[in-house]
Structures are given as C-alpha cells and as structure tokens.
Structure 1
Amino acid sequence: MATVLITGGKGLIGKALTKKLTNKEHVVNILTRNPKKNNEFLWNVKENFVDKDAFYNVSHVIHLAGAGIADKRWTNERKKELINSRVKTANLIFNKVQEFEIPLKGFISASGIGYYGAITSDKIFTEDDNNPENDFISKNCVEWENAAHQFELLNIPVSILRTGVVLSKNGGALKKMNTPAFLAALGSGKQYMPWIHIDDLCELYVKAVEDKSFTGIFNAVAPEHQTNESFTKLLGKVIHKPVLPMSTPSFILKIALGEMAYILLKGSKVSYKKTANMHNFFFPDLKTALTNIYSGKQT
C-alpha cells in the first residue's frame, strides 16, 4: 500500500485516478486551494505554501496540475498561465520535498503528445524523438517535462505520461465534441487524433506507483491510429448522431480560436509500442472505448 499525493486531484483525471487508487487500498492525499475533505490539503503557489501534513507518509507524487489547454483562447497572458500552472507547481513540490526531506519513491507527471508539436506528417513519433517542433504546445510540454526531470537530481525515479485525447463519459473532449446537434470533422479531417480511454490512463498511473520498472517516458495513447475524420464518423455511429458531409473549414476555427486552432487542425501518429509492452489495454480500439463510455458501464 502506497500513500500518493496528487496535484490536480479534483480534475477529470484526478477524480478517476483517486477512485482507482483507493479501490486498490492506496492512500490518496490531494493538494487543493480549497480543502474540504480529510484527505485534502491546502497549497498556494503564489505564496509558496504547501501544508506539510500533505506529505505525511507520502511515497509518490502524481503531478496532474495544469490549466486546461483548450479552455481559453491563447493570449500571451494565457500562455504564461498554461506553462506556470504546470511548471511552477512542480517547482513548488520539488522545493518542499527538499525542505521537508521527503523520501519519495517516485515522481509521476502528466505531459502531452503536444510535445511532438502541432504538425501532420507520416512520421510515427516515439518516446525517443527528442527534437520537438518549435511551436507553443511543444514548448509547453518541454518545460513541463523539464520540471519533472529535476526530481532525478534528488535520485527520485521519474515517470512521464505523454497523454493523447482522454475519452471519458464525465467530461473532456467527448463532451465538447458531442455538444452540437451535428458532428463534423475539423479542417481536412486527415490529422491524426491519438486517444486513450480514461480507465487505461488511470491504470498507467497506478502502474507507475506499483511497478518500480515503470519509469521514464511513455506515450499514453491507445494502440490504434484514427484520423479526425474517422474518429468523428465512428463517434456518430456509436451515439447515433448525424455527421455532416462537409468538415468545419480551417479558417473558421482559426478566426474563432486563434493560434489554439492548430492543436485541432494538426496531428500525427504517436507510437504506443513502448507502453503496450508494459500494459495490456482494456480498450485497444475506438469502437470498444466509445461503446463502453456511452453504454454507461465506465468505471
């Protein structure tokens, strides 16, 4: 049994992960700006404060904190917020682990497939590709991961999950896609959409806690390559919603979303092989994943 401290524990992934960890009899502490429960502890990044009690008996930290990438238009101020919400929070934990002399067994951090850049190509990106594109989404992920890697200076093993589009019945990308009366592909529709079912993603985090060999960088994506067009068509079939024959024009998305539109209009294949060697996917294909989510059987 491990005691795990989670940042971002009240988000979509954090809530599902907390449930999975506690079902496996691990103890979960959550850092929040508004603690209400016994396992919730106060932290304030601006004031460089973390309740020391949050670290009691903690063996692992799972760093999920970060403002939503697609929640708001990317102004210069928003870009700073996106990076700081990931990097400054990790730095605060790093400083407190040293200050309180916490003997962590592992630091486990989220990251994104945006590490490889907002591009569409024939290349299948692997964890060994260390020359990301020089765009904002890539820079954001690089700084995010660098903040995680600093824990290695304390001889603490680090695991990083470069996560694709997370599929869940409780929110996230599917909720946004399913809001209009009709579904439609975006731009050319030929851009790839690496995805993962939230149950598989949470299991990967659990594995990082329970398995000492699960360290390093892993692409948290399902073993299947879907384009935006094929994803949209299959979603329409599963939820019985019409799919427009014409896609949403790129220029409309660029006008509406600005620079952020590129994470919707671009996308390449991301390799799942390293992860699949360590984890048997519950939902290896999109049809199975969507059917599970919309049948109401998701855990």
Structure 2
Amino acid sequence: MKNILITGGSGLIGKHLIERLQAEGHQVSILSRNPENVKGVKAFYWNPQKQEIDRYCLLGINTIIHLAGESIADKWWTSERKKEIVESRTLSIALLYKVLQETKMSVGSVISASAVGYYGDRGEELLTEDSNKGTGFLADCCQEWEEAVDKGAEMGFRVVKFRIGLLLSKDGGALMEFRKIVRNYMGSDLGNGKQWYPWIHIDDLVGMFAKAVSDSTYQGTYNACSPSSVRNHEFTQEVAKALHRPLWPIKINKVILNIVLGEKSSLVLMSTNTSSKKIEKQGYSFRYTTIRDALRSIFS
C-alpha cells in the first residue's frame, strides 16, 4: 500500500486514477486551490502561481503523481497563454521539490504525465522514447515539463514519465470534440488525413500509472500509446462508424484549419507515429489494442 499525493487530481485522468488507486487499497490525497470543495478524497491547499502550499500535504507521502497543467486546447495560443500552459506544469512540480528540500522530507517515486507532443510533427518516422525532441511549441513545452520533473532524479527519487497520446474517454478530452463534429454530420478528414494519431484508452492509461506506482522497475520515459497508431482518416472513419454517421469524402484544408485554430491547428495536423514496444517489454498488457474496440467500449 502506498501513500500517494496527486497534482491535477480533479482533472479527467486524475478522477479515474483516484478511483483505481483507492480500489487497490492505496491512500490517496490531492492538491487543490479549493480543498473545501473536494469530495471523496483528502485535499490540501496549494496555489502554484503564488507558490503557496500546505506543507503537511507531503507528510508520510512516498509517491507523487504529477498531472497538473492548464488545458492546451481550450484557449487561443497567445504568448501569455503559452506561458500559462508551461508554468502550470513546471512551477507546480518545482514547488513540491522546494518543500521537500526545505523540510528534508523525502518521497520514493515521482510519476508524471507528459505528451507525445514532445516529438513534434514527424511524418512517417517511427518514434521511440530515444527519438530526438521535435520542434514547435508543444515540443518545447514537453521538454521544459520533463526537465522540471527530472530534477526529482537528482534528488534521488525514482522518476517515471508517460508521454500520453490522444486520450479516449467518454468523460471529456479530444475524443468528445471529434464526437461533436461527427454527430453533427460534419465528419471529414483533417488536412490530408494521413497524419498519424497515437491514441490510448483511459483504462489503459490509468493502468499504466497504477502499475508504475506498485512496480519499482518502471523508470524513465514511456510512450503511453496503444500498439496501433492510426491515421486521421481511419480515426475519423471509426468514430463515424461507432456513431452511425457518414464520413464525407472531402478534406478540411490545412489553410482553413490554420485560420480557424491558429497555431493550435498542430494538435490535429501533427503526425506522431509512436512505438509502444518499451512499455510492452516492461510487462504492461494492453486492454485495448484496436481503435474499433476502444471506441465501441466508449460509445456503446
């Protein structure tokens, strides 16, 4: 049994993960700007922007799970917004490390989210955890995020980072945006439709985090993506099939997407064909390996 502190515990991943970890018998607490409003789990106050935190949150903690971070999709990417996105991920973990150093408390493990955006737009290249960082805002953000987390390794902690792909869940995230479009009979390819989407079902992602909590052989970086990335055309086609809607034989031009979304268009136009071999060799067994089965479990 572990005593776990989660940042970003009120988010999509956090809610599912808390349920899983509590079911496995772990003691779980979270950090929140409004702990008095949190139900079902112990909550401590923090405000990373103001560098404020209830230091008792780390008492007895042996595992930190770092999920905190502003959404990359809900606002226009202004310079100010980009700064918020990066600092919400870096200043938050830095605050915890600062408290650990000042109080001489220690944790055994730090398990963090990251994203496949680290690789940037890479076309047909098969990407492993050893592949170089890509270019663009998402790649730079992920690099700063991971570097902030890696300071835990310098302090002697076991550090695990999951580079998460397109998350499939009925409770929110990018899939629900695709669902909206397709249900309104507007499903079609984005860009040329050939870009690779690495995806993962919420149950598998939560399973990976849970395994990393209990299995100390997990260490370093892992691509948190299914063994079968799909192209944008196939992904949209499968969503359309699952919802019994048509997929129109047209393509939404890259220029139009750039006008509508600005720099955020990279979220749907970027091609990132990631390999899951490392985590499979680690012993993780995927529950969902095909996009069709994953979508059926969500939309059925």
Shift of 1:20: 0.5
C-alpha contact (below 8 Å) 1:145/1:160 kept by paired residues: yes
Q: Which amino acid aligns with 1:287?
A: R
Q: Which amino acid aligns with 1:171?
A: G
Mean Cα displacement is larger for which, 213-222 or 68-77?
68-77
Q: Which amino acid aligns with 2:124?
A: D
Shift of 1:48: 1.6
Residue 102 of structure 1 pairs with residue 108 of structure 2: no
Which runs of structure 2 are paired with 1:208-227 in the superposition (5 Å)?
208-227=212-231
C-alpha contact (below 8 Å) 1:219/1:271 kept by paired residues: yes
Q: Which amino acid aligns with 1:17?
A: L
Residue 87 of structure 1 pairs with residue 90 of structure 2: yes
| Aligned-residue identity in percent | 40
User: Which residue does the alignment assign to 2:295?
Assistant: 290
CA distance in 2, matches of 1:83, 1:275: 26
Unaligned runs of 5+ in 2: none
Shift of 1:46: 2.8
Residue 28 of structure 1 pairs with residue 28 of structure 2: yes
Mean Cα displacement is larger for which, 234-243 or 1-10?
234-243
Shift of 1:133: 2.0
Q: Which amino acid aligns with 1:138?
A: A
Q: Which amino acid aligns with 1:235?
A: V
Q: Deviations over 1:54-75 (max 9, x none)?
A: 1122110000001111111111
Residue 74 of structure 1 pairs with residue 73 of structure 2: no
Tell me the SS of whatever aligns to 2:49. Answer: coil
CA distance in 2, matches of 1:230, 1:162: 22
CA distance in 2, matches of 1:140, 1:101: 30
Residue 174 of structure 1 pairs with residue 179 of structure 2: no
User: Which residue does the alignment assign to 1:240?
Assistant: 244
**How many pairs are equivalent?**
293
CA distance in 2, matches of 1:47, 1:262: 31
The alignment yields a C-alpha RMSD, in angstroms, of 1.1
Tell me the SS of whatever aligns to 1:238. Answer: helix
C-alpha contact (below 8 Å) 1:115/1:139 kept by paired residues: yes
Q: Deviations over 1:177-236 (max 9, x none)?
A: 111302222111100000000010011111111000011100000000200100110111
Which runs of structure 2 are paired with 1:39-188 in the superposition (5 Å)?
39-117=42-120, 119-129=121-131, 131-180=132-181, 181-182=184-185, 183-188=187-192
User: Which residue does the alignment assign to 2:277?
Assistant: 273
User: Which residue does the alignment assign to 1:229?
Assistant: 233
Q: Which amino acid aligns with 1:253?
A: L
Unaligned runs of 5+ in 1: none
Shift of 1:26: 0.5
Q: Which amino acid aligns with 2:15?
A: K
Tell me the SS of whatever aligns to 1:241. Answer: coil
C-alpha contact (below 8 Å) 1:193/1:225 kept by paired residues: yes
Shift of 1:44: 1.2
CA distance in 1, matches of 2:245, 2:104: 54
Tell me the SS of whatever aligns to 1:142. Answer: helix
C-alpha contact (below 8 Å) 2:124/2:271 kept by paired residues: no
Q: Which amino acid aligns with 1:64?
A: L
Identify the structure with the greater strand proportion. 2
Mean Cα displacement is larger for which, 96-105 or 71-80?
96-105
C-alpha contact (below 8 Å) 1:120/1:192 kept by paired residues: no
CA distance in 1, matches of 2:123, 2:174: 23
